[in-house]
Amino acid sequence: MSSGRQRRRVVPDYMAAARVSVPEHITVERTTLVYVAPDVVADGLDPPASHLLTLLADGPLSVYECAAHLGLPYCVVRLLVAGLAAGGTLLTRDPPPADLPDLEILELVISGLRAL
């Protein structure tokens, strides 16, 4: 486990999402799964973005986990992810709408928990 919170930052947290603009159709929340788009060239990214891509090299993670691993506040990482998703560097998978849950997903959860 590593948390950047213990280290003293020279650059303030909000700078991690500086110059990020997010189109309105991009929704990102805590449990949105994030992964790197295929064939992405990670050159020329700001340090927080390149740290995020390094972190995601092992596979998808939720936005919340990304925030914890990077030691940045969730609200900052949410913007960072949304900006990179808008630019096509990252792909995201939102949780399905919960107002009418999909039976298939409920069955997967029940059988998965039973099998543990």
Partner 1 sequence: MAFARSDGRISADHVPVKLVIAGPFGVGKTTIVNALSEIEPLNTEEVLTQAGTLVDDLTGVNEKTTTTTAIDFGRLTLPGVVLYLFGAPGQTRFQVLWDELVRGALGVLVLADTRRIDDSFAVLDLVENAGIRYAVAVNHFPDSPQYPSDALRKALDLDPRTPLLVCDARDPVSARASLIALVEHIRELVLS
Q: Residues interacting with partner 1, by CB under 8 A?
A: 1-5, 29-33, 35, 51, 54-55, 58-62, 64-65, 67-70, 73-75, 91, 93-98, 100-101, 103, 105-116
Q: What angle (nearest 5°) sits at the alpha carbon of residue 102, between those of residues 30 and 63?
A: 10
Which is closer to partner 1, CB of 59 or CB of 88? 59
**What does the DSSP 8-state code read for residue 94?**
P
| Dihedral (CA of 98, 100, 104, 108) sign | positive
Closest distance of CB 107 from partner 1, Å: 8
Closest distance of CB 79 from partner 1, Å: 13
